[in-house]
Homo-oligomer: A and B are copies of this chain.
Amino acid sequence: MTREECEALDAADPLRHFRDEFALPDGVIYLVGNSLGAMPKAVTQRVATAVNDEWANRLVGGWNSARWYNQPTDLGDRIAPLIGAGPGEVIVGDSTSVAIYKAMAAAVRLQPGRRVILSDLANFPTDRYIVEGLVKGLGGDYRIRDIGDLDSALGDDVAAVLLSQVDYRTGARRDMAAVTARVHAAGALMVWDLCHSVGAFPIEVGEADFALGCTYKFLNGGPGSPAFLYAAPRHHESAENILSGWYSHADPFAFETAYRPADGIRRFAVSTPHVLSGIALSAALDMWERVDLHEVRAKSVALTSLFIDLVESSCGRDLTLASPAASGERGSQVSFLHDNGYPVMRALIDRGVHGDYRAPKLLRFGFAPLYLRYVDVYDAAATLAEVLGKELWRDERYAERLAVT
């Protein structure tokens, strides 16, 4: 593949016009959209309006007139189609970690007599950490079992299983429907972490019991934008939210002394939403209403496959592919191993190609099809080849560690 051929692919790309809707700095090829998505230009005006009109002028009246009070369910209803869910099935708020806590606590409490939570060692660490805290709080004989092989880990003591659809390190993608069916066959409930999936390709929550994810990666909701939580309608009456703050009450503004859970998905809210963070997400979701996720997936497969081909042909002896070679088994991310991964990534970033590094050896590259071009992939691979071929990463400037790497 030549750079000219990449230009031709860009010219024919049905998603090409979305790139103009993003604020992207000059001279940067941004391959970290799987960590923090780029900013939709519409955010500028939407956030300014929220501050200078809604807050400044409407003051506390904004809870009604600007629909701040409804933000958790309004945003949830807009995320629902991205994960194959319906209206009233998704709520937005809090962080992913808090969403995991709520979902896992609810799932475990629906399963009296079962005391084991299965968590994958390949889950993003906070998933495991949160389950540790939950188990500690629950006391008694609750415990965690880390999954090696799912089938041998499943037993009649397993209450719930927490898995990521896409592995945050390797980008490996699981078959949600098949895994959910196996977990259900063992009598356990299935909770999916969709952090590295949502906005990267079409998702069908299907028979899952709960699902959750963050909105600042492929959805471009902004740094620390609120998380989403899906609960299957069959659990809306029976599941309990142990983080039972006032926004989950049946009638919050009655200020009743005792707790009564709201009907429907609202019982999984906690408290006053972080409005400004939700507003930026709202602007990002405006764009998603016009996006065909099947087109996103097709371009994602093309971009990741192109990157793997170019990198392996130009610097295959220096790097080991850590992602699945088969595109059907990948999310929208490609990872390689290198013994000096940290300085390699610093050298790349210094040359305008932004990926990230995960200890001890992983170079991660995310591909957000709404704002990445085929020529970006071509140029990124060429820069990586230069950094490795000329050993530019040996520059001592690249050894210094930053707080967030």
Q: Report whether B276 and A280 are in contact in the complex, using a CB–CB cutoff of 8 Å.
A: yes
Among A59-67, A170-178, A318-326, the one that faces the other chain is: A59-67
In chain A between 346 and 388, which residues have their CB closer than 8 angstroms to a CB of chain B?
A: 354, 356, 358-359
Residues of B within 8 A of A129 (CB): 244-246, 248-249, 259
The answer to whether the Cβ of A274 comes within 8 Å of any Cβ in the partner chain is yes
Q: Is A313 an interface residue (CB 8 A)?
A: no
A276 to B48, CA, bound (A): 12
Residues of B within 8 A of A241 (CB): 133
Residues of chain B within 8 A (CB-CB) of A125 are: 246, 249, 252, 255-257
Other than the given A25-B56, A126-B271, 9 more pairs (CB < 8 A) read A32-B60, A36-B59, A36-B62, A98-B243, A129-B248, A137-B242, A138-B138, A253-B359, A253-B403
> Could you list 18 examples of A-B contacts with CB < 8 Å?
A30-B59, A32-B60, A36-B55, A39-B55, A43-B51, A43-B55, A60-B354, A60-B356, A95-B245, A96-B272, A98-B270, A128-B257, A224-B277, A225-B274, A253-B404, A276-B279, A276-B280, A277-B277
Q: Which residues of A contact B (CB under 8 A)?
A: 23-25, 28, 30, 32, 35-36, 38-39, 43-44, 47-48, 51-52, 54-57, 59-64, 68-70, 94-98, 101, 105, 109, 121, 124-126, 128-130, 132-134, 136-140, 146, 214, 216, 222-226, 240-249, 252-259, 270-280, 354, 356, 358-359, 402-405
Residues of B within 8 A of A243 (CB): 97-98, 101, 130, 133
Q: Would B59 and A32 count as touching, CB distance under 8 A? A: yes
Per the bound structure, the CA–CA distance linking A270 and B94 in Å amounts to 10
Q: How far is the CA of A101 from the CA of B241 in the complex (A)?
A: 13
Which residues on the B side are within 8 Å of A255 (C-beta)?
Answer: 124-125, 358-359
CA distance A318 to B48 in the complex (A): 43
- A270 in complex: contacting residue of B97, B146, B272, CB < 8 Å: B97
Kindly list chain B residues whose C-beta atoms are within 8 Å of the C-beta of A405: 253
B96 touches A94 (CB 8 A): no
| Residues in chain B near residue A356, CB distance under 8 A | 60
A36, A48, A124, A138 — most chain B CB neighbours (10 Å): A36
| Least CB distance, A274 to chain B, in whole angstroms | 4
A59 touches B25 (CB 8 A): yes
Q: Decide if B222 touches A275 in the complex (CB within 8 Å).
A: yes
Chain B's nearest CB lies how many Å from the CB of A130? 6
- What's the nearest-Cβ distance from chain B to residue A357, in Å? 9
Q: Which residue of B lies closest to A69 (CB)?
A: B404
